[in-house]
Structure 1
Amino acid sequence: MLLSCGDALIDFLPSRTADGREALTPAVGGSCLNIAIGAARLDVPTGFVGGIANDTFGTMIADHAMNSAVDLRYATRSDDQATLAFARVTGTETQYAFYDADTASRNWVYRRNAIAFRDISCLHTGSTTLVHDKGAAETLAFIEDARRGVTISLDPNCRPNLVKDKDLYRGRISTFCRTADIVKMSDVDFAYLFGDEPYAERAAALLADGTSLVVITRGNNGACAWHQQAGMIEADAPVVKVVDTIGAGDSFQSALLAALHRLDRIARQKLAEVSAAELRRVLSFACKCAAFTCTRAGADPPRSRELPTDYW
């Protein structure tokens, strides 16, 4: 099983009423939940770890996850309210206003000895959970217990409007990077964390610290990756008619992990031995799935049966 640990929330997406007035439509979201859903829809056994409210919005979140075959046995249900995020699309980027004080997701606590790590192949984490001190500490404890035999995947998916101390946050993400076998970030996240530093220079530093695979997504310009054995690989993004880009990065990440799983390269040692041809195939598949998600509204990653046969 692949586990995704982190945020689960309700996005309020911009829409229009029948008479043309601005409106907001609720939709289940949260980067780490999206990744669990995306991987499960690509036929990878996947579970979610994190806090889910018992309120109406929490029920929406749980129902949505289970409808995509996401295993919620390790999720924590609570009477705290659900996190809400209000989205506004600006150009090719989506900006969010978060309402995340004292929520089920924010108050999640890692339950030591509750997870049978022998049954877990990969643990993914990132996003808003790593912004706050408590969430970051609980997640790091989880990773430290898991990483002896489990591949660790990280996507910072930065939320600058939640960050109070940028230097502290950057140091925290660097700590998480050192625990990870797979580090993926968007070009926007990279610029926020590392400024104008060349991608290859930072990738080399991460590989030297023990990371096996570093991936940078670049929107319409596709993705590039660095691997200790396979070297540097690039993949193009398909040209599609974009409805919005919400969830595209999460769809990429879930497809990346699903493709590695399909090739039997998700385990740490096997990941270290992936070939250039295999990695190119993985990146291409992830780019195609991300592009597919952009053709419909909200974080709605594709199911295997929806994808053209040439995607894989």
Structure 2
Amino acid sequence: MTHALVIGEALVDVVRAADGTVTEHPGGSPANVALGLARLGRNTELATWLGKDARGELVSSHLTASGVRLVPGSDRAERTPTAVATLAGDGSATYEFDLAWRVPEVALDDTVTVLHSGSIAGTLAPGGAAVAEIAAAAREHATISYDPNARPTIMGSADEARPVIEHLVSLADVVKVSDEDVAWLYPGESDIEVIQRWVHAGPSVVVLTRGGTGSVGVTVTGGSVEVPAPRTEVVDTVGAGDSYMAGLLDGLWSANLLGAKRRDALRLIEEDALRAAMTHAARIAAIVVSRAGANPPTTAELTREENA
């Protein structure tokens, strides 16, 4: 059976509020993408690096409950990674990561329709180099997708991260990047000029998300699509970009544009097809920001919303 293979960090977000309360919940950008794809009915595997501890059980139970399968060997870390967010009285946050990253052994064959990675997994040694190697090898079978989802506190300086991220962009067929990531990587540059440069470095499609103002997609053939963000009451934005990524891949999958055999078709994607996939992704992200935490919708929820 064909499936999505997601490679990257799954972790526990530890939130320390200004009033002293502490809450913990599963997170990690690639893990959120895997969760989003699985809830949309896609057969999904996640290759990650968890510990055999209580936090590892929290993360794995959260993922498997929605149908994500963990690649064997994903539980060999000494301890489950954490991202500690300390909130100030004004709501601002500082972050501290405790994260070791290695890639368990993965199987690459023609059952892998899409391989996705991003965020910390692509830049943190020693696993980051393995992500690039696997992405290059997987092109024989799969569409490669990538989301930089920059985390400056663990990725180092933009000058250090930029060449690594640009290499991963060059290996990808589909890239999603936020305006905040572009601003960090290329201060003072136009975000549109950056994604136009990226789309000619290897990808067929690059999509720029701009939060509540919508998203812009460009294609290697010169197409350009703008999609507004649906109006919604925002609870928080946790996981919104990851859910958009999952929705974008799901939309392209439904249009029969994923998989190595469809690479030429993806490079010739028409603007209407890209607009449909981006609109689908925007709807999903809008649902996520209307809820607390990274809680992407299922296909059944989307259907109910359409029929409401």
Q: How many residues align?
A: 301
Aligned to 1:181: 173
Q: Which letter maps to 2:172?
A: A
Aligned to 2:302: 307
Aligned to 1:140: 132
Could you tell me how far 1:273 is from its partner in structure 2? 2.7
RMSD between aligned alpha carbons?
2.3
Aligned to 2:42: 44
TM-score by length of 2: 0.90
Task: Say if 1:57 and 1:82, in contact at 8 Å, map to a contact too.
Answer: yes
| Aligned 1:288-299 pairs, distance under 5 A | 288-299=283-294
Q: Which letter maps to 1:245?
A: T
- Using the alignment, how far apart are the partners of 1:195 and 1:62 within structure 2? 37
Deviates more, 1:71-80 or 1:208-217: 71-80
- Using the alignment, how far apart are the partners of 1:181 and 1:94 within structure 2? 35
Task: Say if 1:55 and 1:79, in contact at 8 Å, map to a contact too.
Answer: no
Aligned to 1:109: 103
| Aligned 1:231-246 pairs, distance under 5 A | 231-246=223-238
- Using the alignment, how far apart are the partners of 1:234 and 1:309 within structure 2? 26
Aligned to 1:195: 187
Task: Say if 2:12 and 2:82, in contact at 8 Å, map to a contact too.
Answer: yes
Out of 109, 113, 121, the residue aligned to residue 113 of structure 2 is 121
**Aligned pair in 2 of structure 1 residues 210, 311: CA closer, same or farther (>3 Å)?**
farther
Task: Say if 1:48 and 1:75, in contact at 8 Å, map to a contact too.
Answer: no
TM-score by length of 1: 0.89
Q: Which letter maps to 2:186?
A: F
Q: Which letter maps to 1:306?
A: E
Gaps in structure 1 of 5+ consecutive residues = none
- Using the alignment, how far apart are the partners of 2:247 and 2:173 within structure 1? 16
Could you tell me how far 1:110 is from its partner in structure 2? 4.6
**Aligned pair in 2 of structure 1 residues 157, 219: CA closer, same or farther (>3 Å)?**
same
Task: Say if 1:9 and 1:85, in contact at 8 Å, map to a contact too.
Answer: yes
- Using the alignment, how far apart are the partners of 2:22 and 2:287 within structure 1? 23
Q: Displaced runs of 4+ in structure 1, greater than 6 A? A: none
Identity fraction in percent:
32
Q: Which letter maps to 1:151?
A: T
Aligned to 1:78: 76
| Aligned 1:140-289 pairs, distance under 5 A | 140-229=132-221, 231-267=223-259, 268-289=263-284
Deviation digits for residues 5-37 of structure 1 (CA, Å, limit 9, x no counterpart): 111000124669xxxx44222111100000000
- Using the alignment, how far apart are the partners of 2:41 and 2:222 within structure 1? 26
